[in-house]
Amino acid sequence: MLITEQKEKGIYINGKWRDAIDGKTRTVLNPATLDILTEVTYGGKHEAMDSIAAAQAAFPSWAKKTARERSAFLYKGFEKMIEKKEELAKILTSEQGKPLSEARAEIESAASYLLWYAEEGNRIYGEIIPSSKANKRLLVVPQPIGVIAAITPWNFPASMVTRKLAPALAAGCTVILKPASQTPLTAIAIVKIFEEIGLPEGVLNLVTGNAKEIADTLTEDPNVRLITFTGSTEVGRELMKKSSQHIKKLSLELGGHAPIVVMDDADLDLAVNLTLASKFRNSGQTCICSNRIYVQNKIAMEFVKRLTEKVKEMKIGNGVDNDTNMGPLIDQDALEKVKDHVEDALKSGATIVVGGREWNGPIQGYFYQPTILTDVTNQMKVMNEETFGPVLPIQYFENDDEVIEQANHIQYGLAAYVMTESTNRAFKMMEALEYGIIGINDVFPGTAEAPFGGMKESGFGKEGGREGIKEFVEMKYVSIGIS
């Protein structure tokens, strides 16, 4: 299915859609069918430089607008996004693969960031500090940080874009958006919404293209004051190194390896359903997806039995079919990584309970069966590296202290989940787990009003909530002498 017969322009600078200066394009595929959707313009250094210049020129007047004026654009963006929910969800599924039901939920979530920051933008308060000297007045004045760049991933092509754009625009920053090359069409559709509602030229610029070249140009330019990035720890580390040149501010949401701890007092059916949802939504390609599970010995057999039954009922297929529960992986590299993790586990003695190979259905995409592994050890890749696929390794534990140690043993610290009916155990776990986000009997913690972000090598900076907008604000301290 072709979305358009023509080339899609993926570069939007200073209110104009453009081709890449050298005419380059990149193919966008449907990962479920391997059909070519379209060709999208593929920019690089030159386009990145132009977008920085445009964002810089637009900054003073955007920053001077009142919070209410900026908020009105975000509110209109929210309304348009909801109005176009079905159209956007279809674009998202076609280039990303997730079931349409998940794509619709993502568009709603993406729109909710626009709404929430339309409201929160009106509440960026400063302070007057009681001075220790009678002849001084001390003020803290919030100001937008300036031109910012947002580099976004393919796993949530809509919500990762608005989660960054909304607080940045609300705070008074101007933006350069670089979406993932696998999923530029959703980003283009979102930028078109802002074009339609009349966002001033240069306030939001889009550059699809060569990630490294664009990122190098952004980090090398002192006028880009902050980079907000969601993606792998490896690329985050590179961005951090390169940003040190101009002491650029960063907000990094990087890899994760979320544990689910299922305690013997858990509501078993709930725990099974939540585990299923956490592991297999988006085919396991969510940075807060559970990547390993620890089940307490007493309930282990029963838990694995019930979970396996549910996994066997899952319908794999094209996300546009109504009964599909799980779509494809994003590309061949993603599929190879999952295969490698499973092969590595099997070589070292893991047992396949269900799944364990590519899915060969009637369509030809990058599919892998939902998989459960037991007899896994801490030396295996599945227990240490982000699999980003539908593979769930299970270990058993005897007591709480043992599982805390196990859950904390790796360097990732994004999200962790605990299934328990005991308030005492919930609090103990919540305090002991070294993760930025904890779900207690909940595996969908992401929401516009709460601060989402990791610890350790999962990054720093918060997205969502009151904290999310502070990333884009400088608190200027003003000391006034009076007579």
C-beta closer to ligand ADP: residue 428 or 456 = 456
Residue 31: CB minimum distance to ligand ADP, A: 13
Give the angle 360-157-55 at the CA atoms, nearest 5°: 150
C-beta closer to ligand ADP: residue 223 or 479 = 223
C-beta closer to ligand ADP: residue 161 or 266 = 161
Give catalytic status of residue 287 as yes or no.
yes
CA distance 224 to 214: 12
C-beta closer to ligand ADP: residue 40 or 354 = 40
Residue 271: CB minimum distance to ligand ADP, A: 28
Dump the DSSP string for 395-434. Answer: EEESSHHHHHHHHTSSSEESEEEEE-S-HHHHHHHHHH--
Q: Which residues make up the interface to ligand ADP (CB under 6 A)?
A: 151-153, 178, 180-181, 211-212, 215, 231-232, 235, 238-239
Give catalytic status of residue 449 as yes or no.
no
The DSSP element (H or E) to which 191 belongs, if any, is: helix 184-196
Which residue minimizes CB distance to ligand ADP?
231
Strand partners, 258: 290
Residue 237: CB minimum distance to ligand ADP, A: 10
Q: Please, are residues 330 and 336 in contact by the beta-carbon 8 Å criterion? A: no
CA distance 460 to 236: 10
Residue 455: CB minimum distance to ligand ADP, A: 19
With CA atoms as reference, report the closest residue to 287 among 253, 318, 312, 311: 253
Residue 256: CB minimum distance to ligand ADP, A: 11
Q: Please, are residues 330 and 342 in contact by the beta-carbon 8 Å criterion? A: no
In degrees and rounded to multiples of 5, residue 56 shows phi and psi of -70, -40
C-beta closer to ligand ADP: residue 153 or 356 = 153
C-beta closer to ligand ADP: residue 382 or 407 = 382
Residue of 106, 120, 253, 457 marked catalytic: 253
C-beta closer to ligand ADP: residue 163 or 178 = 178
CA distance 297 to 394: 11
Residue of 287, 289, 457, 471 marked catalytic: 287
Residue 430: CB minimum distance to ligand ADP, A: 28
398-416 burial, b at 16+ Cβ within 10 Å, e below that, comes to eebeebbebbbebebbbbb
Cα first-last separation, the chain: 74
Residue 152: CB minimum distance to ligand ADP, A: 6
Residues 6 or more apart whose CB falls under 8 angstroms from that of 313 comprise none
CA atoms in the 13 A half-sphere facing the CB of 226: 25
Sort 101 into a burial class: Cβ within 10 Å, 0-12 / 13-18 / 19+.
Answer: middle
3-state percent breakdown (helix, strand, coil) of the chain, nearest 5 = 40, 25, 35
CA distance 232 to 180: 12
Q: What residues are annotated to the active site?
A: 253, 287
